[in-house]
Amino acid sequence: MEIAVISGKGGTGKSSVSSAFATLSEIIVLADCDVDAANLYLIFNPENEEEQVYAGGQKAVIDYSLCDNCRVCQDYCRFDAISVVNGKTVISGILCDGCKLCSRICPENAIKMIVENKSRMFSGSFRNGKMVYGRLAPGEENSGKLVNLVREKAKQISLKNGLNTIIIDGPPGIGCPVISSVTGVDKVVIVTEPTISGLNDLKRVLEITSKFSLNTWVIINKFNLNPDMSNRIESYCNNCDIKIAGKLPFEPKVVEAMINCKSITEWAPESHFTKEIISAYKIITNE
């Protein structure tokens, strides 16, 4: 069973929920698919057993032995990746989108495309099972493709080790890597917070999960900080036939747990937050 935990935006507590789900009693496979900002490895400090290079795309580079500084490439680059610095034409590795146009139009054939290979996928063991995570290098592209690789690897590991549950920590937002994180999963959990933007982001994510007909639950984090808004979110979900799996209270120990490289269920097993998380997990997995 694959359970994906996602959120409409960052900072809602998605990783706190994922890490808590990952450290309940069952031994699981944890897939950190938030490849642009993977962070669960910081909490779980996994023992990496395999490291794979991920070619995230291509970047343009200038061969200065051929370049005559005509600046034609600068005029054509739609991504403003080419500029002139101290009289020399240079390409920004961060801004270059890898579209290859400059390499085609350079009159001196001075621009080559090189494969970016600084991104990595790691797999190994952590204290409650197996873990896979991707780390996309700054400026590298195709995070959705890396998410697919992480999920594929997690499935292989789950089959090989007879582990039935895969917890996916998905990226925030509604972009391509989110879609890659949820397509074909058994269950999706959306973590939201009781604010106007929390509700608006939730609506946008629900459009995705309903488009893919995914079995979806919502968890409202820090619900007691704004009970009115929390009620609005609940009403909205009820009207759309979306199930609320749990309402988590504001809990300062969540941050303490992260600082101490623990999930909240490990750090504060007797807290109300932990009890609610356990209850939410049971609701999600038993249905």
Task: Check residue 70 for interaction with ligand SF4 (CB under 6 A).
Answer: yes
CB of 136 vs ligand SF4, minimal distance in Å = 18
List 17, 24, 29, 81, residue binding ligand SF4 (CB under 6 A): 81
Task: Check residue 100 for interaction with ligand SF4 (CB under 6 A).
Answer: yes
Region from 69-77, 200-208, 210-218, 224-232 binding ligand SF4, contact rule CB under 6 A: 69-77
Task: Check residue 57 for interaction with ligand SF4 (CB under 6 A).
Answer: no
Q: Total binding residues for ligand SF4 by CB under 6 A?
A: 26
What does 130-144 look like in DSSP terms, one character per residue? EEEEEEPPTT---HH
Burial class (CB in 10 A: 0-12, 13-18, 19+), 278: middle
Task: Check residue 62 for interaction with ligand SF4 (CB under 6 A).
Answer: yes
Region from 101-109, 146-154, 239-247, 276-284 binding ligand SF4, contact rule CB under 6 A: 101-109
List 17, 31, 82, 167, residue binding ligand SF4 (CB under 6 A): 82
Q: E strands within 128-283?
A: 129-135, 166-172, 187-192, 216-221, 243-248
Q: How far is CA 272 from CA 25, 226, 256, 265, 286, in A?
A: 18, 18, 15, 10, 21
Q: Which two tokens stand for residue 66?
A: 């051929």
CB of 180 vs ligand SF4, minimal distance in Å = 23
Which amino acid, 218? V
Q: Which two tokens stand for residue 217?
A: 């639950």
CB of 88 vs ligand SF4, minimal distance in Å = 9
CB of 173 vs ligand SF4, minimal distance in Å = 23
List 77, 149, 229, 237, residue binding ligand SF4 (CB under 6 A): 77
Q: Which of residues 172-191 bind ligand SF4 (CB under 6 A)?
A: none
List 20, 29, 30, 60, residue binding ligand SF4 (CB under 6 A): 60
Query: What Rg, from alpha-carbon coordinates, does the chain have?
Result: 22
CB of 178 vs ligand SF4, minimal distance in Å = 25
Task: Check residue 160 for interaction with ligand SF4 (CB under 6 A).
Answer: no
Q: How far apart are CA 219 and CA 199, in angstroms?
A: 12
Burial class (CB in 10 A: 0-12, 13-18, 19+), 203: middle
Q: How far apart are CA 221 and CA 62, in angstroms?
A: 49
Q: Which residues bind ligand SF4 (CB under 6 A)?
A: 60, 62, 67-73, 77, 79, 81-82, 89, 91, 96-102, 106, 108, 110-111
